[in-house]
Amino acid sequence: MVPVPADKRCRLLSIVIESSTSVMADSVSGSVPFGKMNASTKVYEIDPTRDPRWAALVNSDPRASVFHSPYWLQTLQVVYGYEPVVVTTCPPNERLANGLAFCRIKSWLTGRRLVSLPFSDHCEPLTGSPDELDALIMHVNQQVNKNEWKYIGIRPVSCQPSHHTDLSRVVTYYLHCLDLRPSTEQLFRTFHKSCVQRKIHRAEREKLKYEAGASEDLLRKFYRLMVMTRRRQHLPPQPLNWFRGLIAAFGNNLKIRVASKDGVAIASILTISHKRSMFYKYGCSNLAFNKLGGTALLFWKTIQEAKDRGFDEFEMGRSDVENRGLITFKEHWGASGKLIDYWTYPRTGAALLSFSKASLSRRVVSTVPDLALEKIGKFLYKHIG
């Protein structure tokens, strides 16, 4: 491990915290107002990686995404040591009809907290009514009030917690999805002519090589580009073991897609398929070759494969509301965006100093060798889920 001074370690931590939108909450005491129904509702906690009822609920509930999958939860557990838990109003011997998934994060550096879910774009509560959701949230809020956890955080797509839960909205994102039900030809015609169609044609003229799979060779190509891209963003890369863990967990449902020019990898994305959806999760590229259309080719190949496999949608991930460039990129593919909110209890305090905006961060990330940057990421990420 590369030794990092304590003051720099804290600043290094803040850059990753901002990137993953983990919110550091003040220790604020307070009571949660319980409604008449919620006060008498029994809440149970289960292990979603061992209880087969959770997998059955995820498979049957149309709101469940790849982030609810036991495979995603197992990877969080194996790689980072987080403890998955689902809170539900269903007794142990009954069919699971609702659940809210969390990970218990116990960090000596950032504190103990419950997050639904770490490193996930979103995690919709799988509940049947607002009262059920309130009961589950109030259950974990009580644990915060007893100082068992520093705070809780949830990342719903559609539902919103009621005011009874005392949760606070802390950040808003755009989530973009592409409807795959039109024909391939219809989809292509909706792509922006200059920013998408021409880049796809450029990639074809350049005879870029396209590879897809989950081999160690493709992982290495992807990760080299990921380190390069994260350095441009003044961020350390995610640990290589995180991607190895995802590959081991998801098997054939995960693909690393690489575009190469004359034997040099120039762009790569990582996608995971779940039920009738294809999820784009990670992307990276060599900026020097961006004009060749490598990224456009990868997205187009992914969309074509998703269509061939009968998927209904291609989820293109979240975007900061201030990142107009990324939002516009996704809209040029015909994707529709919606606002999603992240919530925490208790009300958040002042955020840590943004290391990504400090000159020190740019100096450190731009100058340390790749191996050192990778080790910094390996150390930090388990603390900031």
> What digits encode the pLDDT tens for the residues 289-327?
999 999 999 999 999 999 999 999 999 999 999 999 999
Q: What is the pTM of this model?
A: 0.87
Structure tokens at 294: 């490598």
Structure tokens at 347: 């009300």
pLDDT tens, position by position, 99-158: 999 999 999 988 899 999 999 999 999 999 999 999 999 999 999 999 999 999 999 999
* Predicted local confidence at residue 16, as pLDDT: 40
* Predicted local confidence at residue 364, as pLDDT: 73
Cβ proximity of 21 and 15 under 8 Å? no
Residue 19 CB coordination number (10 Å): 18
Identify the CA nearest to 259 among candidates 202, 311, 315, 306. Answer: 202
Give 366's pLDDT tier (boundaries 50, 70, 90): confident
Bond prior to 346 in cis (omega within 30° of 0): yes
* Predicted local confidence at residue 363, as pLDDT: 66
pLDDT tens, position by position, 2-60: 444 444 444 444 434 344 433 333 333 333 333 444 556 899 999 999 999 999 999 99
The DSSP bridge partners found for residue 177 are 315, 336
Cβ proximity of 141 and 152 under 8 Å? yes
Cβ proximity of 299 and 152 under 8 Å? no
The full set of domains in the chain, from first to last, is 20-172+342-351 (3.40.630.30), 176-340 (3.40.630.30)
The more confident residue out of 251 and 353 is 251
